[in-house]
Amino acid sequence: MTLQDSATGMTVNGIRLEVVEKGRGRPLLFLHPGIGLDPGAPVIDKLAEQVRVIAPSHPGFGGSEQPKTFTTVDDLAYFYLDLLDELDLKDVVLVGVSFGGWIAAEIAVKSTARLSHVVLANAVGIKVGARDMRDIADIFAITEPELNKLAYFDPKPAERDYKAMAEADVRVIARNREASARYGWSPYMHDPKLKSRLHRIRIPTQFLWGAADRILSEDYGRAYCAAIPGARFETIARAGHYPHVEAPEAFARAIFAFMQGQAK
Amino acid sequence: MRVYHFSEHPYPNAWDDPHGYLRVDLPNRALDPKIAADLFHRYHDEYLLADELGLDLMLNEHHQTATCMNATSIVSLSIMARQSKRARILILGYPIGHRSDPMRAAEELAMIDVISRGRLEMGFVKGVPYEFAPSNANPVGVMDRFWESHDFIIKAMTTHDGPFNWEGEHFHYRQVNLWPRPWQQPHPPVWSTTASKSNARVLGERGYVIAVLGSGYNTRMLYDSYREGYASTHNGALPGPDRFAYLALFATAHNETEARRRGELVAGYLRTGANVYPPFKSPPGYFSVDDTARLLRGFTPERSFTKDRRVVDMRTASVQDLIDSVLMVCGTPDQCYQQITDFIEYTGGLGNLLIMAQAGFLSHADTVDSLTLMAKEILPRLKEYKQPAAAAIAAA
């Protein structure tokens, strides 16, 4: 691996990756949700006050390369295990939101050797309910305004005027949507095997849950939490499916408190 | 010159449902099975009449929609394979981009080819955007899956010396050994549809029949891309008119006023066909990132052109605009003949005209009359009509 430019990218296993890196100290690998990563997101700065944030765009998302052979979240999980090896990171705080939480869980059931803590925020990835009921709202079957109403405590700031946006930014949105479907179309946003493997996560694990989320229910989050031994569950007020966007300070504070409470 | 009769087997009785959308999520309580049975029988009667009249037959399938009750084209193809006497039977298309089991597809198509004694024309399509929800096939990578499915079906149909195994990217089979094998050798003719120059070229390279719809006087560029691809794999030779197909709505009658009245009814297909809840129209990955970005930014590609380069919106166009853009052939038999041959001259050669002669609320009596006039007064002249010469195409 060559770390070519910490602000824009690196190459792992020959795959060109867009990465935001900020701060010093303990490494925190931040795995973004399906809407992608805003490099200027306040949550990066908040987290970087106390840790070294490494926030890649997943292969296929943002400006990161899409390898043709990558079709499952398993592929992404093994890829990130390789990234941790190649950067030789230790005691990593692994944080994932929504789709990123799914990747984080798939990483942690495979190996926690380089991890100290896992934080899953409004994570998808498992099936808990009846077979003729969706646990996870079908984001591909509703309009964007409807989706935003389900996703956000306050949908207003999420409104976008595509005509006024730069074409490159709209391409990234299209790319993120395509990549979300590539990995999560069917089985829809979950791996049927994952739930029965979650017991393998034996390091401190914290669920953070934007309480206004209507893509996922809190019951879903609590069932997810209950499948990981000793995992704790905490809600974040005035935030929905993306608490790192709507409540970046509370999000960062909860992570720091978790790290301190469990660090020793 | 062949003319194929086509109906989507619509259920127009539900077209004014207050629910609003006709595809994917229209609750099926809006369908009365007794009315559906009557409609199926009636449409099949019209197909069998077309067979008797000397026309060929085109069938298709769509899913979860009041615009097309043929949820699996194989059922209607099977009925036609047994009951029709002479017509070519074209499936256009079989949506192998979202069909999960190409082995089953190969078996079905081979049976139909045998039962019809070699009358199957085998059109493959990837499937329309709004059917990736009902099929649950991933819209991402659909063309890869389409071609693997195609490759498998052709190999299954052309392997005659015992089983083979298939371990592909998308499909896995063991002991593949197709019984019955198809009547036509090496396999039934392959067709596909496209609206893109790059796909048109690929179809040309393979020498398959290219079918186009909706492009009107913008069709030539697709056909020319096909010709380039064809020439590149055929020692520079140009494809004959039998490699080209074009689909138009169709209505004729003894006088123009009556033809236009029928045209209005047939146009109901275009005016309802796009009535789909927006999220199903552009599933993720179905269109390229660049095309998706353009759609998000509000640019819809210009598709249907008139001879004088006006762009027509097929969903709202008048019958006159539909005629001008060859989305519809409509008028007296003389007028229809003129519209068709004008268009063939423009395309540089077109051997297969696919006519949607029944659509929407067009009645059985009107459909029978329209088909009869086509067969007796237009088709004989089209068969005598001399297609543009290959040299003229090369010079164009």
Digit-coded pLDDT (tens) for A164-184: 999 999 999 999 999 999 999
Alpha-carbon torsion (A7, B291, A99, A216), positive or negative? positive
| Chain A CA closest to residue B169 | A69
Those residues with Cβ within 8 angstroms of residue B181's Cβ, 6 or more apart along the chain or in another chain: B110, B157, B160
- Write the residue in A141, A167, A178 that is nearest to B285 by C-beta: A178
Contact between B208 and B234 under an 8 Å Cβ cutoff? The reply is no
- Write the residue in B139, B284, B298 that is nearest to A163 by C-beta: B298
pLDDT band at B395 (very low <50, low <70, confident <90, very high): low
Cα–Cα dist A218/A82, whole Å: 33
More confident residue, B123 or A3: B123
- Whether the pLDDT of residue B288 is over 70: the answer is yes
Question: How far is the alpha carbon of B306 from chain A, nearest alpha carbon, in Å?
Answer: 29
Share of chain B above pLDDT 90, in %: 91
Cα–Cα dist A115/A201, whole Å: 10
- Chain segment B74-107, per-residue pLDDT in tens: 999 999 999 999 999 999 999 999 999 999 999 9
- Whether the pLDDT of residue B390 is over 90: the answer is no
- Chain segment B48-60, per-residue pLDDT in tens: 999 999 999 999 9
- A245-253's contacts with Cβ under 8 Å and 24+ in sequence apart are A245/A41, A245/A43, A246/A152, A246/A153, A246/A154, A246/A210, A247/A210, A248/A41, A248/A42, A248/A43, A248/A46, A249/A42, A249/A46, A251/A43, A251/A46, A251/A121, A251/A208, A252/A43, A252/A46, A252/A47, A252/A49, A252/A50
The one-letter amino acid code at B379 reads L
The confidence score (pLDDT) of residue A263 equals 45
The confidence score (pLDDT) of residue B393 equals 66
Which residues of A, range 14-73, sit inside 8 Å of B by Cβ?
A: 71
**Cis previous bond, A60, omega within 30:** no
The confidence score (pLDDT) of residue A6 equals 45
The confidence score (pLDDT) of residue B275 equals 87
- A28: its two tokens: 């925190």
Cα–Cα dist A37/A44, whole Å: 10
Average of pLDDT values for A82-101? 98
Cα–Cα dist B64/B23, whole Å: 6
Contact B289 A174 (CB under 8 A): yes
Give the number of other Cβ atoms within 10 Å of residue B100's Cβ: 14
Question: How far is the alpha carbon of A93 from chain B, nearest alpha carbon, in Å?
Answer: 32
Q: Which residues of A touch B293 (CB under 8 A)?
A: 167, 170-171, 173-174
Cα–Cα dist B109/B181, whole Å: 9
The one-letter amino acid code at B65 reads T
Cα–Cα dist A64/B81, whole Å: 51
Contact between B107 and B114 under an 8 Å Cβ cutoff? The reply is no
Alpha-carbon torsion (B105, B108, B114, B119), positive or negative? negative
The confidence score (pLDDT) of residue A257 equals 97
Q: Which residues of A touch B140 (CB under 8 A)?
A: 178, 181-182, 185
Contact B280 A141 (CB under 8 A): yes
- Write the residue in A165, A171, A181 that is nearest to B139 by C-beta: A181
Contact A163 B139 (CB under 8 A): no
Contact between A121 and A98 under an 8 Å Cβ cutoff? The reply is yes
Report yes or no: A175 at the B interface, CB cutoff 8 Å.
Answer: yes
Cα–Cα dist B203/B232, whole Å: 12
Q: Which residues of A touch B133 (CB under 8 A)?
A: 140-141
Average of pLDDT values for B195-204? 96
Question: How far is the alpha carbon of B172 from chain A, nearest alpha carbon, in Å?
Answer: 17
Cα–Cα dist B308/B311, whole Å: 9
Least confident piece of the model among A234-248, B10-24, B132-146, B261-275: B10-24
| Chain A CA closest to residue B133 | A141
- Chain segment B350-389, per-residue pLDDT in tens: 999 999 999 999 999 999 999 999 999 999 999 999 999 8
* Best residue in B98, B132, B138, B282 for a mutation probing chain A (most A CBs within 10 Å): B138
Contact between B263 and B251 under an 8 Å Cβ cutoff? The reply is yes
Cα–Cα dist B245/B200, whole Å: 12
| Chain B CA closest to residue A182 | B140
Q: What is the dihedral of CA A180, A182, A186, A188, to 10 degrees?
A: -10
* Best residue in B296, B299, B300 for a mutation probing chain A (most A CBs within 10 Å): B296
The one-letter amino acid code at A70 reads F
- Write the residue in A174, A180, A181 that is nearest to B293 by C-beta: A174
Predicted ipTM beyond 0.95: no
- Chain segment B250-266, per-residue pLDDT in tens: 999 999 999 999 999 99
Cα–Cα dist B18/B37, whole Å: 23
Residue B308, classified by CB atoms within 10 Å of its CB into exposed (0-12), middle (13-18) or buried (19+), is exposed
